[in-house]
Amino acid sequence: MKDIRKEIAGIIASQAGLSEEEALALIEIPPESSKGDYAFPCFKLAKVLRKAPPLIAADIAAKIRDNALFEKVENVNAYVNMFIDKQFFTRLTLEDVAERGDDFGKSDVGGGKTVIVEYSSPNIAKPFHIGHIRSTVIGNAIYKLYDAVGYKVVRINHLGDYGTQFGKMITAYRHWGSEEEVRKEPIKTLLSYYVRFHKEAENDPSLDQEARETFYRLEHGEEEEVRIWEWFRSESLKEFERVYGMLGITFDSYNGESFYSDKMPAVIEELKEKGLLQESQGAQIVDLSQWNMAPALITKSDGSSLYITRDIAAAIYRKKTYDFYKCIYVVASQQNLHFQQWFKVLELMGYDWYKDCVHINFGLVSLEDGTMSTREGRVVFLEDVLNRAVEKTAEIVREKGVNTENIEETSKIVGIGAVIFQELSNSRIKDYVFNWDNVLNFDGETGPYVQYTHARAASVLKNAGVSGSFDVKNMDLSAICSGSAYELIKEIYRFPEVIRDAADKYEPSVLTRHIVDVAQAFNKFYHDEHILVEDETEKNAKLLLTSAAKQTIKNGLALLGMQAPDKM
């Protein structure tokens, strides 16, 4: 689709003595449609042109007013306000949506370069709880956004399947565990062992020592410890896959921390060779005090590895294996220091691609009575949240007598979609308190509202007997001339730009808010206009716009990891 903002930048640049890039950076979209479709502020030109900004605006407006792109150009104070020719803009937008269909909004900005997105990454043998939903759905949306703008994306679930907690888990299982209990309900049973371990260890410190020795044996490949660990991992993955299936999420790799255990010695040796390792109380560290950071602990005094060692090994492996353009880590903000430390270690090791490793942080989820604690067993299971959302939706569907042939399927699409949409509605960096009423609130600017709007558009098209595509190039679109129709067209036109912006900012909420804007604009058009009129030319033009709105909402929801039902 023609980039109108870029075209305007070219027109203005030639009149204002600016480069096209400089002009493009200044162009704005006015907050009110009465002030134009685009606006150009002239404040920054005052020093260069030695004129008052309002005089500059008047001069530029006079010079570009006759361009065929514009229906009207006004200078208001220091602004040049530009109104695009509505018929040109309408045809440009609707032809592109009709031609591209499910690909509308996509681009090839990425040029096929490889981007890795690491997300979700729960710990095996521990609950897949509501706190994990943030990394899981934010990461999945970022993957979809980068795929949509033309990158080759590798999705990695870096499972927490290594570390001293497995020494604790195996120790607890040996003391109090039962194979039958674990097989019956793996995660909840293993959680109960983990909680009991910490309670017992408060009175019996020898348990901690036993756990450290157990992990040491695991790390050094002792057969019995490896067997139990592999069993815990296998049982955990079955549970995780069930939740991922509910969310419609898949991965290209489940290589977790354990995958890099045999790659860590080489990293430690390289750190030694480059003179970066120092001994501190028997442990091996990299001193980062020069950069006002705590030391990076590479190995403990007993020689066992840590997260940071495995993360460095993983990054080096991924660069060699995928030659990534970016490696994106979707991990909570409480790990900010951890990422700063090991990115700095990569830099000190001489890897200039350290700057291509990006930590995308997000706010934390807490419960109304405080933060979640796996050790204390205070968690809300994500699967329980999803199931409850589906049940609540089914109740609403039955109460309202929703027109659907499959209540169970519709309830899954809408209920799980409501949870995903709520997670992606606000800026990812915000902390929030988990509350059932908020998660399952279907009123206002929510996932169900957007999905219902899609179903409404589908119903209009079905009632009109529309089953195929439109011959847009030969259609008369002059009937789409009302204010509400044009506002909807503008929101649809912006969709590809919003996708690029959301990807650039690693911020799915940019897209989420825009989909709400499209839905609201369509509903206003729907209420303001009678679509199924007798005049065939007018009816077809309005149906084309309805189809374009439906397609845009569908494509937007897909990028968030949601489905768009035709009946609701």
- Per the annotation, the verdict on 400 as an active-site residue is no
Rounded to an integer, what distance in angstroms lies between the CA atom of residue 234 and that of residue 427? 35
Angle at 396 between CA 401 and CA 555, to 5 degrees: 90
Of the listed 6, 113, 132, 338, which one is catalytic? 132
Q: How many CA atoms lie within 13 A of 400 on its CB side?
A: 12
* Alpha-carbon 94 to chain mean position: 27
Of the listed 126, 168, 319, 490, which one is catalytic? 126
* Alpha-carbon 240 to chain mean position: 20
Residue (of 477, 469, 491) closest to 105 by Cα position: 491
How are beta strands 277-280 and 283-286 bridged, if at all?
antiparallel
Beta strands in 239-364, from DSSP E residues, in sequence order:
277-280, 283-286, 296-299, 326-330, 357-360
- Per the annotation, the verdict on 129 as an active-site residue is yes
Q: Confirm if 151 and 115 have CB atoms less than 8 A apart.
A: yes
- Which residues pair with residue 357 across a beta bridge? 327
Count Cβ atoms within 10 A of the Cβ of residue 31 and give its class: 0-12 exposed, 13-18 middle, 19 or more buried: exposed
Q: Where are the alpha helices (DSSP H) in 27-101?
A: 46-49, 53-64, 86-100
* Alpha-carbon 473 to chain mean position: 36
User: What tokens appear for 388 in the block?
Assistant: 């409850």
Q: Confirm if 452 and 568 have CB atoms less than 8 A apart.
A: yes
Q: DSSP secondary structure string, 336-371? A: HHHHHHHHHHHHHTT-GGGGGEEEE--PPEEBTTB-
Q: How many CA atoms lie within 13 A of 44 on its CB side?
A: 10
Q: 163 CB contacts (<8 Å, ≥6 apart)?
A: 215, 257, 306, 307
Q: 166 CB contacts (<8 Å, ≥6 apart)?
A: 125, 214, 215, 218, 229, 232
Q: Confirm if 160 and 256 have CB atoms less than 8 A apart.
A: yes
Of the listed 86, 129, 550, 554, which one is catalytic? 129
3-state secondary structure 119-180: CCCCECCCCCECCHHHHHHHHHHHHHHHHHCCCEEEEECCCECCCHHHHHHHHHHHHHCCHH
- Per the annotation, the verdict on 86 as an active-site residue is no
Tell me the catalytic residues. Answer: 126, 129, 132
